[in-house]
């Protein structure tokens, strides 16, 4: 996608790539004369996220959403491309800058059962980043701050002396959020933060996240496969397909006036959107294998409008408006 902000974003991603080497061991390859095998998980994406907004990434399973989250949080190193935070390119950041960015960018994972150490009391779980970033002088100060953080996420300060297994799923996700807030972050990467929770609890956790955003001026990258959650929670949306962004726009643009056939297909799959799109886009098939993505536009094997041009050349991002871009040779017209 081309530059989408009129101002520099808090976070900027340029031509981001990552491929995972899933080759068999060297000796095995030597005997079989096989080449190395890569999964092309992210294949050149660009986007900016402005301070205070919620930018969501959506797309079918395996399109690379979680890999983008892990690249942004530093868990993976890109094969190519840049990630800049407040104008600092991560790969060129000094030790101090890295430490600052690590504190200011935090990640909330999908599964609060797996992301909290079951052998630690809540006190220690939440205090760990406070100690790591040198934000407390002694244990007493730590307990006081942990109590404040627990209350900020709707739990009781006295909960700090319990173990994670003593809490429900929703409460555990609140503990994860308190832990993420400990370093006083400004940017939270939320990878399916509510999809492991019961529907009734999901809304409570999303409301908490929204309140915290207003209160603390947080910026969110939000990853979800639930389009109704995305439409309520986001300002802008990026649609991913097989490691690429195929459309970016405001929620209003992407949900009401999708211009990429793939976005339209996702919207048509939401029952309540039938009213808006009277004619469904006939698309069939499955997501191709990211080990050998199709040539040209990766969506062409499933697209009813594909021509030879779509098979041969990768479409560049086209500006539809100041906020909406689509990477398609034949963008849909708006009815
Ligand atoms: N560490 C890894 N090693 C090899 N392949 C990987 C690795 N991590 C992700 N992949 C592959 O990269 C592709 C993108 O995966 P990713 O988890 O980012 O997709 P996703 O859109 O988040 O899917 P989901 O919604 O199912 O979580 C998939 O084909 C996945 O199998």
Quick: pLDDT tens for 170-211: 999 999 999 999 999 999 999 999 888 888 899 999 999 999
- The confidence band for 4, taking pLDDT boundaries of 50, 70 and 90, is very low
d(CA 209, CA 218): 9
Ligand 1 pocket, residue 65 CB under 6 Å: yes
Pairing mode of beta strands 187-191, 105-108: parallel
The predicted structure's pLDDT at residue 294: 93
> Mean pLDDT of all residues in the chain?
90
Distance, CA 101 to ligand 1 centroid (Å)? 25
Would you say the CB of residue 115 lies under 6 angstroms from ligand 1?
no
pLDDT for 6: 36
pLDDT tens digits for range 17-26? 999 998 877 6
Q: What would the pLDDT profile of 129-178 be if each residue is shown by its tens digit?
A: 999 999 998 999 999 999 999 999 999 999 999 999 999 999 999 999 99
**Quick one: CATH architecture of 11-111+189-326?**
3-Layer(aba) Sandwich (3.40)
Looking at residue 278, what is its pLDDT?
A: 53
Tokens 């799923």 found at: 169
Closest Cα to atom 2 of ligand 1: 20
> pLDDT of 202-234, one tens digit each?
999 999 999 999 999 999 999 998 888 999 999
Helix (H, G, I), strand (E, B) or coil at 238: strand
Global pTM reads: 0.91
Nearest CA to ligand 1 atom 7: 20
CA of 247 to the centre of ligand 1 (A): 20
- Read off the DSSP letter of residue 92: G
Structure tokens at 293: 């993505």
Alpha carbon of 262 to ligand 1 centroid (Å): 19
Cβ atoms of residues 323 and 250 within 8 Å? yes
């Amino acid at each position: 996608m081309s530059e989408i902000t009129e101002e520099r974003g808090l976070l900027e991603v340029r031509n981001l790539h990552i491929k995972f080497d899933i080759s068999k061991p060297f000796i095995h390859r030597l005997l079989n004369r096989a080449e190395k095998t890569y999964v092309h998980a992210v294949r050149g994406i660009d986007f900016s996220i402005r301070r205070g907004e919620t930018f969501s990434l959506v797309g079918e399973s395996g399109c690379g959403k979680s890999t983008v989250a892990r690249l942004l949080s530093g868990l993976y190193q890109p094969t190519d491309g840049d990630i800049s935070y407040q104008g600092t390119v991560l790969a060129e950041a000094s030790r101090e800058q890295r430490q600052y960015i690590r504190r200011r960018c935090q990640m909330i994972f999908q599964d609060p059962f797996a992301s909290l150490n079951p052998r630690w009391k809540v006190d220690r779980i939440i205090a760990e980043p406070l100690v790591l970033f040198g934000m407390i002088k002694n244990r007493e100060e730590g307990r006081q701050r942990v109590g404040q953080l627990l209350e900020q996420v709707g739990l009781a300060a006295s909960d700090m002396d319990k173990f994670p297994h003593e809490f429900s799923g929703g409460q555990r996700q609140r503990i994860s959020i308190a832990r993420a807030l400990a370093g006083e972050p400004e940017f939270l990467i939320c990878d399916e933060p509510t999809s492991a929770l019961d529907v009734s609890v999901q809304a409570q956790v999303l409301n908490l996240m929204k309140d915290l955003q207003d209160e603390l001026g947080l910026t969110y990258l939000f990853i979800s496969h639930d389009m109704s959650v995305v439409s309520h929670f986001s300002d802008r949306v990026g649609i991913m397909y097989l490691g690429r962004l195929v459309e970016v726009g405001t929620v209003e643009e992407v949900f009401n006036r999708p211009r990429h056939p793939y976005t339209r297909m996702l919207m048509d799959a939401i029952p309540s959107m039938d009213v808006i799109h009277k004619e469904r886009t006939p698309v069939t098939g499955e997501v191709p294998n990211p080990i050998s993505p199709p040539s040209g536009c990766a969506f062409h094997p499933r697209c009813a409008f594909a021509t030879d041009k779509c098979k041969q050349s990768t479409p560049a991002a086209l500006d539809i408006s100041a906020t909406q871009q689509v990477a398609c040779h034949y963008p849909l017209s708006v009815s």
